[in-house]
C-alpha cells in the first residue's frame, strides 16, 4: 500500500499517513515557469496498491490537473491499482443541466478522472449521490455523519436539540443525522433569487426553546447559513450551531459567519483551512483523517467499507 499526496491538502494527507502508520511516498509535484504541472514519483510503485490523496478545492482547476497528472504518472509506472481519494469533489454542484446549453461538469470531471487511469474513487459527502453513477469504475461515497454525531453527543444535551436542514434539498442528509442522535427535524424553506444569494421564507417545525443544529454538505458564501440562523433565532431557538462537511468559504464568508448569529460553525478538514478560518472565533475544524484512513485500509485489505457506517 502506497500513499501519494498532491498539494491541495497536505495536512490531511499527513494525518491519514500517521493514522495508517504508512509514510507518504516521495514524489515531486511542481510548476514550470508557465504554470504547467510536473510530477515525478521518486519511489518504485510497480505492482503496488496506490492511493492518491487530493481534494479538488480552490484553486479547483490546478488541483484537478495535479490529480490527473498524478494518475497518469502512476499508471505509466505500472502501479497495480490506483485509487483517487478525493475528500472534496469539486464541480459536484454542476450535476445536472439547470438551463439550456449548460454543461454537466460533474460528469465531465468523472470522465477525466476515469480516462486518466483511476481504478476506483473514494470521496466524502458528495453534493448529489447520483454522481457515483457518473463513474464507470467502483466509487465509495463516505459520510462524515459518524464523526459529527460523536462530536455532537460529547458537547450537547441531545434531548434539547433540533436538527435543521437549511433547504428542502438537504432534508435526507439532515434526517439521517437526526435519526442517529434521536432528535426532531425542522426545515428552512428558502427562495434563491440568484446564485450566491438566498432569502429565508419560513421555518417548517417548532424550534421554540431548542438548540438548533444546521446540517449541510457545503458552505460556500455562508449566506444561506447566516439567514437560516437569523430566522431560527427569531422563531425562539436558544442557539444555532452548524455542522457542514466541506468548508469552501469563498470571498467574505468567514467574516460573514463571524458577524452572524451562528454560535459555532463546525467543518471538516476535507478542504485545507485558510488562515482566516484558523483564527476565527466561531469556526472549528473536525478531522476526518481516521475515517478516511480506515476506509482506505479496508479497501486495501478487501474488507467492507459500508460497515463503517452501520
303 is in an annotated binding site: no
Phi then psi for 239, rounded to 5 degrees? -160, 160
Per-residue confidence (pLDDT) for residue 308, from 0 to 100: 86
Residues facing 202 on adjacent strands? 189
**Per-residue pLDDT at 190:** 74
Which residue carries 466524502 as its cell? 124
Residue 180 CA from chain centroid, whole number: 20
Residues 223-236 have a mean pLDDT of: 91
pLDDT at 202: 85
Does 189 carry a binding-site annotation?
no
Task: Mention the CATH class of domain 145-286.
Answer: alpha beta
Does this chain's domain 2-142 share its CATH topology with 145-286? Answer: yes
Position 278 confidence tier, pLDDT thresholds 50, 70, 90: very high
pLDDT of residue 158: 87
pLDDT digits (tens, 9 = 90+) for 164-214: 999 888 899 999 999 999 999 999 987 666 666 656 678 999 999 999 999
Q: Determine the pLDDT at residue 310.
A: 73
Which residue matches cell numbers 472565533?
Answer: 281
Q: What distance in Å separates the CA atoms of residue 233 and residue 211, rounded to the nearest whole number?
A: 10
- The reply to whether 167 sits in an annotated binding site is yes
The one catalytic residue in 97, 107, 190, 235 is: 190
Count CA within 13 A, CB hemisphere, residue 243: 26
What does each C-alpha distance from 16 to 5, 101, 128 come to in angstroms? 10, 41, 25
Other beta carbons within 10 Å of 233: 17
The architecture of the domain spanning 2-142 is 3-Layer(aba) Sandwich (3.40)
Least confident of 166-170, 242-246, 251-255: 166-170
Q: Is 206 annotated as a binding residue?
A: no
Looking at residues 27-37, what average pLDDT do you find? 93
Q: For the residues 100-108, what does the mean pLDDT come to? A: 96
Active site residue 235: no
pLDDT(264) > 80: yes
Q: Is 222 annotated as a binding residue?
A: yes
**89 φ/ψ angles, rounded to the nearest 5 degrees:** -90, 100
94 is in an annotated binding site: yes
Is 141's pLDDT higher than 80? Answer: yes
Give the residue extent of every domain in the chain. 2-142, 145-286
- The mean pLDDT value of the chain amounts to 93
Residue 220 is labelled as binding a ligand: yes
Say what the pLDDT of residue 177 is.
Answer: 94
Please compute the mean of the pLDDT values over residues 256-271 and round it to a whole number.
96
pLDDT average, residue stretch 245-258:
94
Question: Can you give the pTM of this predicted structure?
Answer: 0.92
Of 30-34, 80-84, 154-158, 223-227, the range with the highest mean pLDDT is: 80-84
Flag whether 223 is marked binding: yes
Specify the pLDDT at position 198.
Answer: 57
pLDDT tens digits for range 71-93: 999 999 999 999 999 999 999 99
Amino acid at each position: 500500500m502506497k500513499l501519494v499526496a498532491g498539494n491541495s491538502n497536505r495536512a490531511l494527507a499527513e494525518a491519514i499517513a500517521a493514522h495508517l502508520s504508512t509514510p507518504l511516498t516521495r514524489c515531486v509535484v511542481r510548476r514550470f515557469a508557465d504554470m504547467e504541472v510536473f510530477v515525478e514519483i521518486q519511489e518504485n510503485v510497480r505492482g503496488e496498491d496506490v492511493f492518491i490523496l487530493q481534494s479538488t478545492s480552490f484553486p479547483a482547476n490546478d488541483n484537478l490537473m495535479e490529480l490527473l497528472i498524478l494518475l497518469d504518472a502512476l499508471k505509466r509506472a505500472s502501479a497495480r491499482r490506483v485509487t483517487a481519494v478525493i475528500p472534496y469533489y469539486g464541480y459536484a454542484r454542476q450535476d445536472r443541466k439547470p438551463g439550456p446549453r449548460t454543461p454537466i461538469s460533474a460528469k465531465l470531471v468523472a470522465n477525466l478522472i476515469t480516462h486518466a487511469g483511476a481504478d476506483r474513487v473514494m470521496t466524502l459527502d458528495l453534493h448529489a449521490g447520483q454522481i457515483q453513477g457518473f463513474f464507470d469504475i467502483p466509487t465509495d461515497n463516505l459520510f462524515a455523519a459518524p464523526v459529527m454525531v460523536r462530536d455532537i453527543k460529547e458537547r450537547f444535551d441531545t434531548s434539547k436539540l433540533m436538527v435543521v436542514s437549511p433547504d428542502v434539498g438537504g432534508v435526507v442528509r439532515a434526517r439521517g443525522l437526526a435519526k442517529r442522535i434521536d432528535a426532531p427535524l425542522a426545515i428552512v424553506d428558502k427562495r434563491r433569487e440568484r446564485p450566491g444569494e438566498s432569502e429565508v421564507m419560513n421555518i417548517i417545525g417548532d424550534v421554540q426553546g431548542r438548540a438548533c443544529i444546521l446540517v449541510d454538505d457545503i458552505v460556500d458564501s455562508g449566506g444561506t447559513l447566516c439567514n437560516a440562523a437569523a430566522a431560527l433565532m427569531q422563531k425562539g431557538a436558544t442557539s444555532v450551531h452548524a455542522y457542514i462537511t466541506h468548508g469552501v468559504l469563498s470571498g467574505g464568508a468567514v467574516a460573514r459567519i463571524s458577524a452572524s448569529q451562528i454560535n459555532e460553525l463546525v467543518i471538516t478538514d476535507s478542504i485545507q483551512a485558510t488562515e482566516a478560518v484558523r483564527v476565527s472565533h466561531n469556526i472549528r475544524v473536525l478531522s476526518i483523517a481516521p475515517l478516511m484512513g480506515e476506509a482506505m485500509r479496508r479497501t486495501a485489505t478487501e474488507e467492507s467499507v459500508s460497515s463503517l457506517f452501520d
